[in-house]
Structure 1
Amino acid sequence: MKIDDYELLLKLNDIGTIRGAAKAILISQPAVTQRLKYIEDYFGETIFIRTSKSLVLTPAGELILEHANKVIQEEKVIKNALAQSSGEVQGSLSIACSSLVSQRFLPAILGDYTNAYPKVAIDLVTGISEDIKREHKNYHVCIIRGERLKETVSELLFSDPLYMFDTEPFPTDKLKERPLISFKTDDSMHELVDNWLYHHQKQIKPIKMLHVDQIETCKQFMQQGLGMAVLPKSVSDSMMDDYPHIPLQLDGDPVTRDTWVSYQEGVRKLPQVDQFLSAILDKKFL
């Protein structure tokens, strides 16, 4: 059994379908099915029951998954210990990152990092900050938006001002009534917008809500004239010359979406983590 086989089992259990797991790890469905058959033959047990909707873990599968978790964690421990003892920048680096940061900023940072330290194996997970916070102990480094992560060392990367965009002007002498388009994000972002709207209800009134999945979809809907959208500067600065917009402010101060890098005390003793944190903390984002 290889580490990749154990990781496949965890991915299958996490996603719940062979098709979804194949898409996530970028190999074909038949290849995933074949590898799963090999693993089940190796243990002599059925690990998953295939149903029409999802994979269901068997009692034997639960024991095997528990073993898989232990094997992967022990592999990480020994790799990190070897990296720390040698002083060379190698081993594994696990990062959980907000989707926006991973799309907008992280590729360039990781490109430079992997060129400098090619022996480091990077495990990157992206998603909504609230989900990352719940699982933060599983990663060396977490990059999240919103409130700082408690019980960790958290350093501010940048504060991202929020703006409301529309294809129609924002009048100063009458109430603006338009649909409001929102994208899937964590609750702290919605709270910022709702609080700002509450304090500006005499100037702006959303007449209905349009909910979309991605921030890029939200931008495109706004650009097509379907309504207003609140967007952070980090993804909308190129639009400011082309679309009417206003900054979100309360009592003269900008409403911002803060981005933090968080990590456990002592993790910088690992050279690969320390070098990554140094690179990202030296980065000028906005």
Structure 2
Amino acid sequence: MNLQDWKMLSTLYETENVTLAAHRLFLSQPTLTARIQKLENHYGISILLRKRRGITFTPEGEELAKHAKRMLQEQRHMEEKLNNMRDEVRGTLRVGVSNFFAANKMPKLLQLFKEKYPEVECQVVTGWSSDMHRRLLNHDVHISFIKGNYAWKEKKALLYEEDICVASPWDFTWEKLPQLPRVDYFTDEHMRILVDDWWHQNYIEQPNITIHVNQVETCKEMVIHGLGYAIVANLVVRPYPELFIKPIIDANGDPLKRQTWMYYQEDTLQMNIVRAFVDFVQTLDVKAL
């Protein structure tokens, strides 16, 4: 197998879908299928089993896919080591980014970083903060931007804090909140627990959730159009002065806050590209981007 075979098997193993894997690899489905068949003929095994929805790997195919992932990791490490030996800031930086940060902060941050270090390429993956934490633990990324505190014994830097607030298209009183329509959205477990704990400390009634959406950005649009209130981090709704925004206060009388962190492993600072990026981010006022 060669580098392209490793990438193909690793992507198929991750996606469990030939169409999606072909899209990620910039290949046509027939080309991808032909390359799989070529490997099967070479090793004299079946690699994939077709299901009604997607694919699954045979035991032999799974062994090959795991080998491919190990080889890709070794390839990355070798390339990173060679780039580091040049004593230059260049190569590929792999970053995991939570959804809101990816949409609202990361484009400007990367633009500024690449202006300073034009030889750097960035591979960015996005998702829930819990996913970005997992990717960092698995060494799939060098750095993760994460909302909330996760179990982590390595290095992290606090980038900013923001109030958690109720944002509403109309004025409201706290007493009437359970009767008002609420727009809810999928979020990571830490935010969900934080909001749910506050609610049950203050109300006996369940919230009157009338709309549930996938993303906080969609939730914000629902609120702007008068369909209900939402409980969100302040940065989501701060640019909209027409909304009524009130910070949530905890049992001690302090504003309930959510923190955004940069997580990374100390040994990766030996790489010029990671050290340069960490130092660069720490010089910025990320909240103001």
Q: Do the two structures share a fold, i.e. TM-score over 0.5?
A: yes
SS at match of 1:216: helix
1:243 alignment partner in structure 2: 243
The residue identity in structure 1 corresponding to 2:103 is Q
Q: Which moved more, 1:40-49 or 1:65-74?
A: 40-49
| Residues in 1 aligned to 2:276 and 2:136: alpha-carbon distance in whole angstroms | 20
Question: Once the 2 structures are TM-superposed, how far is the Cα of residue 38 of structure 1 from its aligned partner?
Answer: 5.0
Question: Once the 2 structures are TM-superposed, how far is the Cα of residue 225 of structure 1 from its aligned partner?
Answer: 2.7
SS at match of 1:254: coil
SS at match of 1:133: helix
1:92 aligns to 2:92 (yes or no): yes
1:180 aligns to 2:215 (yes or no): no
Contact 1:148 1:260 in 2 (8 A): no
Question: Once the 2 structures are TM-superposed, how far is the Cα of residue 195 of structure 1 from its aligned partner?
Answer: 2.5
1:135 aligns to 2:135 (yes or no): yes
Taking only aligned residues, the RMSD between alpha carbons, in angstroms, comes to: 2.4
Contact 1:94 1:140 in 2 (8 A): yes
Cα distance change on mapping 1:256 and 1:22 into 2, 3 Å: farther
SS at match of 2:266: coil
Q: What does 1:117-196 align with in structure 2 at a 5 Å threshold?
A: 117-137=117-137, 138=139, 139-171=141-173, 174-176=175-177, 177-196=179-198
Q: What does 1:197-216 align with in structure 2 at a 5 Å threshold?
A: 197-201=199-203, 206-208=207-209, 210-216=211-217
TM-score of the pair, normalised by structure 1? 0.88
Q: Deviations over 1:92-143 (max 9, x none)?
A: 3221111111111111111232343343342222111112223323121111
Q: Deviations over 1:223-272 (max 9, x none)?
A: 23332111212221111x11122111223322111011111122111000
SS at match of 2:92: strand
| Residues in 1 aligned to 2:92 and 2:145: alpha-carbon distance in whole angstroms | 17
Q: What does 1:199-278 align with in structure 2 at a 5 Å threshold?
A: 199-201=201-203, 206-208=207-209, 210-239=211-240, 241-250=241-250, 251-278=252-279
Contact 2:133 2:150 in 1 (8 A): no
Contact 1:148 1:154 in 2 (8 A): no
| Residues in 1 aligned to 2:217 and 2:30: alpha-carbon distance in whole angstroms | 33
2:63 alignment partner in structure 1: 63
Question: Once the 2 structures are TM-superposed, how far is the Cα of residue 63 of structure 1 from its aligned partner?
Answer: 2.1
Contact 1:146 1:188 in 2 (8 A): yes
The residue identity in structure 2 corresponding to 1:161 is D
| Residues in 1 aligned to 2:222 and 2:37: alpha-carbon distance in whole angstroms | 45
Cα distance change on mapping 1:31 and 1:231 into 2, 3 Å: farther
TM-score of the pair, normalised by structure 2? 0.87
Q: Deviations over 1:185-233 (max 9, x none)?
A: 111101221232234338x962236331111111122223332111212
Structure 2's unaligned 5+ residue stretches are: none
The residue identity in structure 2 corresponding to 1:147 is N
SS at match of 2:207: strand
Cα distance change on mapping 1:167 and 1:31 into 2, 3 Å: farther
The residue identity in structure 2 corresponding to 1:275 is A
| Residues in 2 aligned to 1:267 and 1:31: alpha-carbon distance in whole angstroms | 37
SS at match of 2:211: strand
Q: Deviations over 1:28-80 (max 9, x none)?
A: 54554455445545555432122211111012211211221121011111112
| Residues in 2 aligned to 1:116 and 1:29: alpha-carbon distance in whole angstroms | 39
Cα distance change on mapping 1:103 and 1:44 into 2, 3 Å: farther
SS at match of 2:269: helix
Q: How many residues of Structure 1 are paired with residues of Structure 2 in the alignment?
A: 283
Q: Percent identity?
A: 28
Cα distance change on mapping 1:118 and 1:136 into 2, 3 Å: same
| Residues in 2 aligned to 1:5 and 1:140: alpha-carbon distance in whole angstroms | 24
SS at match of 2:262: strand
